[in-house]
Amino acid sequence: MNKPSAKAVSAQVRLRVRTPSALKNGTESTLPAVFLVGFMGAGKTSVGKALGDRVNWVFEDLDDRIERRERRTVAQIFRESGEPAFRRAEHSALQDVLDGIREQPSVIAMGGGAYVQTKNADLLKSSGLPIIFLDAPVEELWERCCKQASAAAIERPLLRSLEQFRELYETRRRHYVEGSITIQTGQRAVAEIAAEIEEKLKLNKIDRHAKKGEVE
């Protein structure tokens, strides 16, 4: 069965997603999903999980969905099939996420390069869903990534040079700020950042019993 085009999915999403007008009048939001974008080390996963816990929403990392669909790790896809193949899988996974957002409210963390891809950015912007750009000073992002790589005992090519890291950050940042709400994460606790997003978007907390379909 052929997958729908990006244009078709965008049209479907526009029909079923309510424009976040609640952000303007201060009322609770009925948004079905929130997307987190940003450079590596920005805290998309940790903040996303904390935000999901605060409002009882499902948290998902888009890369995890890609790995389940492809039955390979992101590193393996890059190594065995190349970046173009990964970007196709990434876009297809994003279409799937948008196609199922009415099932349960979700917080979705995007890979560092996902929102930089024009097709992905256009798809998200046309959905009317909030896109949160988590940002921090590049030196702090570098330190976070170096600590994470050291703790996991892995070597990341982008961590061989701070200048190369900074150059990629500056290039991608120009894309991140487009059509998104910027939240600073530098020198801040994860819980504090999650609370700011919840308040800024006026997110509606789900009752755990109601979420499971139980009678209160």
**Cα dihedral sign for 124, 135, 30, 57?**
positive
Query: DSSP 3-state assignment of 59?
Result: strand
DSSP-derived pairing of the beta strands 106-109 and 33-37: parallel
Residue pointed to by tokens 């998902």: 60
- Domain-located, residue 43: yes
Looking up residue 187, the CATH number of its domain turns out to be 3.40.50.300
Q: Looking at the domain assignment, is residue 187 inside a domain?
A: yes
* DSSP assignments along 87-102, one per residue: HHHHHHHHHHHHHTTT
How far apart CA 118 and CA 135 sit, in angstroms, is 20
Q: What is the number of structural domains in the chain? A: 1
Sequence-separated (6 or more) residues with CB below 8 Å from residue 93: 62, 65, 66, 69
Structure tokens at 170: 């500056």
Q: Is residue 67 part of a domain?
A: yes
- This prediction's pTM: 0.83
What is residue 104's DSSP assignment?
S
User: How far apart are alpha carbons 178 and 156 in whole angstroms?
Assistant: 27
Per-residue pLDDT of the chain (216 residues; tens, 9 = 90+): 444 444 444 434 333 343 343 344 444 456 899 999 999 999 999 999 999 999 999 999 999 999 999 999 999 999 999 999 999 999 999 999 999 887 789 999 999 999 999 999 999 999 999 999 999 999 999 999 999 988 887 777 778 899 999 999 999 999 999 989 999 999 999 999 999 999 999 998 887 544 444 433
User: Residue 66: which domain range?
Assistant: 32-197
| Domain presence at residue 211 | no
171 falls within a domain: yes
Q: Judge contact between 27 and 202, C-beta under 8 A.
A: yes
Distance of alpha carbon 138 from the chain centroid: 19
Any domain includes 47: yes
In whole angstroms, what separates CA 141 from the centre of its chain?
A: 17
Asked, for residue 9, whether it belongs to a domain, the answer is no
Q: In the prediction, which pLDDT does 13 show? A: 39
Three-state SS for 202?
coil
Give the integer Cα–Cα distance in Å for 92 and 86: 10
Write the DSSP symbol of residue 17.
Answer: S
